[in-house]
């Protein structure tokens, strides 16, 4: 009984610290060309508070969940179907996207 009383707060502490770790473990998206590219072309609609963040949420604070996890979808919409952004991109912007994608869509 005594042992349970000692172990329980310890486990609680482990759970709490694991949780807070998870929240701060996202890699920031800081690519010199593509961070401004996404900010310019996608953020107004898909950033936090943007009207269409439900369809895809652009969050440069978490590269893994926002970019990496959705990369095949992003590639389809931006480069294959050219459906995003709705206003379209210049050839130079499409090339920038493709170069970054082919390089393994790095975060930095
Ligand atoms: C002017 C507003 C606007 C901008 C700018 C915009 N989007 Fe969208 N996006 C939408 C809307 C509206 C939808 C939901 C309707 C739809 O699926 O067509 C959407 C849906 C999406 C989806 C998920 C839906 C799907 O099935 O394809 C992705 C992924 C996406 N956008 C990526 C992007 C990317 C990447 C950019 C920047 C290059 C971008 N969007 C820029 C308005 C926008």
Q: What pTM, to 2 d.p., does this model score?
A: 0.83
Answer yes or no: is pLDDT of 22 > 80.
no
Please report which confidence band the pLDDT of residue 103 belongs to, taking 50, 70 and 90 as the band edges: very high
> What is the distance between the alpha carbons of residues 46 and 50, in angstroms, rounded to a whole number?
5
Peptide bond into 54 cis (omega under 30): no
Average pLDDT over residues 31-49: 97
Answer yes or no: is pLDDT of 3 > 70.
no
Counting from 1 in the atom list of ligand 1, the atom nearest the Cα of 37 is: 38
Q: Which residues line ligand 1 at a C-beta cut-off of 6 Å?
A: 41-42, 44-46, 52, 55-56, 73-74, 77-78, 84-86
> What is the distance between the alpha carbons of residues 57 and 73, in angstroms, rounded to a whole number?
12
Which of 67, 85, 97 to probe ligand 1 with, by most ligand atoms within 8 A of CB?
Answer: 85
Higher-scoring residue by pLDDT: 19, 77: 77
């Amino acid at each position: 009984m005594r042992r349970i009383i000692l172990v329980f707060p310890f486990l609680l502490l482990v759970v709490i610290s694991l949780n807070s770790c998870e929240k701060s473990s996202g890699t920031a998206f800081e690519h010199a060309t593509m961070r401004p590219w996404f900010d310019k072309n996608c953020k107004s609609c898909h950033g936090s508070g943007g009207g269409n963040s439900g369809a895809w949420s652009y969050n440069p604070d978490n590269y893994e969940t926002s970019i990496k996890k959705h990369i095949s979808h992003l590639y389809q919409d931006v480069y294959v179907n050219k459906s995003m952004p709705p206003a379209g991109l210049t050839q130079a912007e499409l090339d920038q996207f493709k170069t970054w994608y082919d390089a393994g869509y790095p975060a930095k």
